[in-house]
């Protein structure tokens, strides 16, 4: 059974800092991994999708990496801003399945 | 239509009542998913449709839960005889069937259910 873990559960940093969020998964047989953002009481917004054959994806100030063999992904946020405050979730799509398996999320707070 | 929509956004009900939620996916998407999310946790998969066919159901989906997607367009999720443990955010997502193994899922805003 695929299990996804995100560490830390919560993170608070001053505005302008670069930061890294971590996601680990137990079964390396995956199609892809997605990073999402969730604002309080809202749905999920897709940030980046990395296919299993890829090592990283970039979008603006966000960079996601994938090391499938070690079961790890990181989301790097450069020059953080207060508007980046949200919960960040990673979801893994394992082979043979028709669903995403999510971690519990990292609640990020950027202090002005 | 630029995204996935869900109605209602909030629902408060008494234990034992039935509730029904609706999801309208992005119009050209043939795949539709339901997830449940409790406070402080990530979403958990409930069920998946490809067009009108329900192809996968989680063990979380007890016999009190039923989902439909008539004509492969909108979907409904019904919970019968609600229990306090059903209180959660119910999320719908859709994706297109493209050339890659699995495509990006786009999520709706969710329906927050509170069972008193």
Question: What is the predicted pLDDT for the residue at B90?
Answer: 97
What Rg value do the Cα atoms of chain B yield, rounded?
14
The per-residue pLDDT for range A32-91, each reduced to its tens digit, is: 999 999 999 889 999 999 999 999 999 999 999 999 999 999 999 999 999 999 999 999
Which of A43, A52, A101 to mutate against chain B (most B CBs within 10 Å)? A43
Under a CB-based contact definition with an 8 Å cutoff, are residues B95 and B106 in contact? yes
Question: What is the predicted pLDDT for the residue at A36?
Answer: 96
Three-state DSSP state, B9: coil
Three-state DSSP state, B85: helix
Question: Measured in Å, how far apart are chain A's first and last C-alpha atoms?
Answer: 41
Among the partner residues B4, B42, B110, nearest to A89 by beta-carbon distance: B42
The per-residue pLDDT for range B40-50, each reduced to its tens digit, is: 899 999 999 99
Q: Which residues does chain B have with pLDDT short of 50? A: none
Which of A39, A44, A90 to mutate against chain B (most B CBs within 10 Å)? A44
As a whole number of angstroms, the distance between CA B10 and CA B84 comes to 15
Among the partner residues B55, B102, B109, nearest to A32 by beta-carbon distance: B102
Pairing of strands B111-115, B10-13: parallel
Q: Residue B78's closest CA among B94, B96, B66, B88?
A: B66
- pLDDT reading at A96 higher than 90: no
Question: What is the predicted pLDDT for the residue at A87?
Answer: 97
As a whole number of angstroms, the distance between CA B15 and CA B2 comes to 35
Question: What is the predicted pLDDT for the residue at B101?
Answer: 53
Q: Give the pLDDT band (50/70/90) at residue A94.
A: confident
Q: In what order do the strands lie in the sheet with A4-7?
A: A4-7, A19-25, A72-77, A62-67, A56-59
Question: Could B42 and A42 be called an inter-chain contact, meaning their C-beta atoms sit closer than 8 Å?
Answer: no
């Amino acid at each position: 059974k695929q299990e996804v873990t995100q560490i830390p559960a919560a993170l608070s940093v001053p505005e302008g800092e670069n930061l890294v969020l971590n996601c680990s998964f137990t079964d390396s047989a995956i199609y892809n991994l997605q990073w999402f953002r969730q604002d309080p009481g809202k749905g999920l917004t897709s940030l980046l999708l990395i296919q299993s054959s890829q090592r990283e994806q970039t979008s603006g100030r966000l960079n996601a990496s994938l090391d499938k063999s070690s079961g790890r992904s990181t989301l790097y946020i450069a020059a953080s801003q207060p508007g980046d405050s949200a919960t960040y979730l990673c979801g893994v799509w394992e082979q043979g399945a028709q669903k995403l398996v999510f971690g519990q999320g990292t609640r990020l707070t950027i202090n002005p | 239509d630029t995204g996935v929509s869900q109605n209602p956004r909030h629902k408060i009900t008494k234990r034992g009542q039935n509730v029904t939620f609706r999801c309208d996916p992005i119009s050209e998407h043939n795949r539709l998913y339901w997830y449940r999310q409790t406070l402080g946790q990530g979403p958990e998969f409930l069920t998946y449709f490809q067009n009108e066919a329900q192809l996968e159901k989680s063990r979380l989906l007890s016999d009190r839960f039923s989902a439909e997607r008539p004509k492969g367009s909108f979907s409904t999720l019904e919970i019968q005889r609600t229990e306090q443990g059903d209180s959660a955010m119910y999320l719908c997502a859709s994706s297109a069937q493209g050339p890659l193994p699995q495509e990006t899922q786009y999520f709706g805003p969710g329906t927050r259910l509170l069972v008193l």
